[in-house]
């Protein structure tokens, strides 16, 4: 069933991008897909529970595609530094880090970034620098 559902999403996004291209506005668009919540790596007996780690993708006319940002965990076992128990993994890239580059693309100045992304500073001490618009887009 997953293959069928992914085929539906692929078809819908293809139609969406084709329409925006036909209107000549594709280069002015950034589309973001985000899972509403992550899932645990272990079962609760009936499935999996809500967790932190999720996945996102972006697409658009100016998006520098074909890249994976963040880091896939080297260790998915209970001994991993990122596993806080019951298969709940701490993400290596915060949602706000992705939005940093997108906010820059929208024209948010660095002096206003804390207002636009109030939680961003909570992640910068523990992880890498936020994604810059130059990492997400081919040209600005």
Question: Which one, of 104, 88, 96, lies nearest residue 127 by Cα?
Answer: 96
Interval 55-73: pLDDT, tens: 788 999 999 999 888 878 8
Interval 77-99: pLDDT, tens: 889 988 888 888 888 788 888 89
Interval 113-126: pLDDT, tens: 999 999 888 777 65
SS3 per-residue string spanning 10-74: HHHHHHHHHHHHHCCCHHHCEEEEECCCEECCCCCCCCCCEECCCCEEEEECCECCCCCCCCCCC
127, burial (CB in 10 Å: exposed 0-12, middle 13-18, buried 19+): middle
Judged by phi (left if over 0) then psi (alpha if -120 to 50, else beta), residue 105 lies in alpha
DSSP 132: P
**For residue 128, what pLDDT band results from cuts at 50, 70 and 90?**
low
Average of per-residue pLDDT values in the chain: 87
- Measured in Å, how far apart are the chain's first and last C-alpha atoms? 39
């Amino acid at each position: 069933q997953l293959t069928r559902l992914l085929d539906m999403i692929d078809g819908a996004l293809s139609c969406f991008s084709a329409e925006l291209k036909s209107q000549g506005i594709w280069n002015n668009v950034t589309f973001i897909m985000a899972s509403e919540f992550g899932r645990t790596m272990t079962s609760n007996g009936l499935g999996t529970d809500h967790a932190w780690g999720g996945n996102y993708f972006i697409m658009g006319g100016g998006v520098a595609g074909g890249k994976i940002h963040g880091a896939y965990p080297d260790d998915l076992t209970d001994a991993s530094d990122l596993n806080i128990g019951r298969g709940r993994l701490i993400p290596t890239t915060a949602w706000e880090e992705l939005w940093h580059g997108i906010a820059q693309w929208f024209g948010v100045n660095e002096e206003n970034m804390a207002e636009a992304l109030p939680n961003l500073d909570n992640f910068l001490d523990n992880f890498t620098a936020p994604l810059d618009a130059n990492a997400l887009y081919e040209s600005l």
